């Protein structure tokens, strides 16, 4: 099984064009495919968050998840939103928290900046999932929580799963990632205590802990070290 299924176009262009109708499409995706993974992600963030904990929502879109977090007591000053699409960030204009343009593969933050990093339904839009996961782990503080939800390359449970998968692939707005490959990439980026939450359907949720800078450096050195002859 390939670790990626389908091809994506430029996500910034696509999602900018979809911004006015994105909330409707997203609600449909959560209703028929991604709701369980979204609930798992939200539960993980509730457990990890404490007042004063810096939280980064990567690929925030129109701010649906951010609104949920704020309504549940996350302080606006603790929450930072990032998205590569200005049109998406404009939809978050009413939210009283920092909004930063940027791509998953080059996060504009210093290392170990956040206690919690979330990335829901954005990893599959990246052309380089390995680099994106390295960046997500880089900005996570040691012991912090990385919380992911993404489209997974798993067998369809029935015609609804199949139709949702085909709709996403036709739009070109994402790919389906191999869960074990994502776990390997998160581990290679230096994260620890990686847990995949059991879910049905073409989705996955994953929680991991941030490792120390030394551990991350060691992982990168191991990757760069040539194999013995």
CATH number for the domain harbouring residue 8: 3.40.50.150
Please give the pLDDT value at position 212: 66
| Sequence-separated contacts (24+) of 126-133 with Cβ below 8 Å | 126/11, 127/8, 129/4, 129/177, 129/181, 129/182, 129/185, 130/185, 130/188, 131/104, 131/105, 132/104, 132/105, 133/182, 133/185, 133/186, 133/189
pLDDT tens digits, residue range 128-168? Answer: 999 999 999 999 999 999 999 999 988 766 676 666 666 66
pLDDT tens digits, residue range 53-65? Answer: 999 999 999 999 9
Q: CA-CA-CA-CA torsion for 67, 71, 75, 78, nearest 10 degrees?
A: -30
Q: What distance in Å separates the CA atoms of residue 144 and residue 194, rounded to the nearest whole number?
A: 12
pLDDT tens digits, residue range 70-81? Answer: 999 999 999 999
Task: Specify if 71 maps to a domain.
Answer: yes
Q: What distance in Å separates the CA atoms of residue 128 and residue 38, rounded to the nearest whole number?
A: 23
Q: What's the domain range around 44?
A: 4-223
Q: What distance in Å separates the CA atoms of residue 14 and residue 24, rounded to the nearest whole number?
A: 15
Task: Specify if 228 maps to a domain.
Answer: no
- Cα-based distances in Å from 218 to 5, 105, 166, 189, 222: 31, 20, 40, 10, 6
Cβ–Cβ under 8 Å, residues 136 and 73: no
Task: Specify if 229 maps to a domain.
Answer: no
Q: What is the mean pLDDT of residues 195-199?
A: 94
* Higher-scoring residue by pLDDT: 92, 202: 92
Q: How many domains does the chain have?
A: 1
Task: Specify if 129 maps to a domain.
Answer: yes
Q: What is the mean pLDDT of residues 201-207?
A: 93
Averaged pLDDT score across all residues of the chain: 85
pLDDT band at 25 (very low <50, low <70, confident <90, very high): confident
Task: Specify if 144 maps to a domain.
Answer: yes
């Amino acid at each position: 099984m390939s670790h990626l299924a389908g091809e994506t176009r430029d996500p910034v262009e696509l999602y900018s064009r979809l911004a006015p109708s994105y909330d409707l499409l997203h609600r449909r995706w959560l209703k028929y495919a991604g709701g369980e993974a979204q609930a798992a992600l939200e539960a993980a963030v509730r457990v990890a968050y404490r007042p004063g904990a810096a939280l980064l929502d990567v690929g925030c879109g129109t701010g649906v998840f951010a609104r949920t977090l704020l309504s549940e007591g996350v302080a606006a000053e603790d929450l930072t939103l990032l998205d590569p699409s200005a049109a998406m960030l404009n939809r978050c204009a009413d939210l009283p928290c920092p909004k930063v343009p940027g791509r998953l593969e080059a996060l504009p933050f210093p290392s170990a900046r956040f206690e919690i990093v979330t990335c829901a339904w954005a990893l599959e839009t990246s052309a380089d999932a390995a680099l994106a996961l390295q960046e997500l782990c880089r900005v996570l503080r040691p012991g912090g929580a990385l919380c992911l939800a993404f489209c997974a390359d798993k067998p369809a449970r029935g015609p609804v799963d199949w139709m949702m998968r085909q709709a996403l692939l036709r739009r070109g707005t994402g790919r389906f990632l191999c869960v074990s490959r994502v776990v390997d990439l998160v581990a290679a980026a230096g994260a620890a205590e990686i847990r995949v939450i059991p879910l049905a359907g073409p989705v996955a949720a994953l929680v991991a802990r941030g490792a120390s800078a030394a551990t991350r450096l060691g992982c990168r050195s191991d990757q760069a070290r040539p194999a013995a002859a």
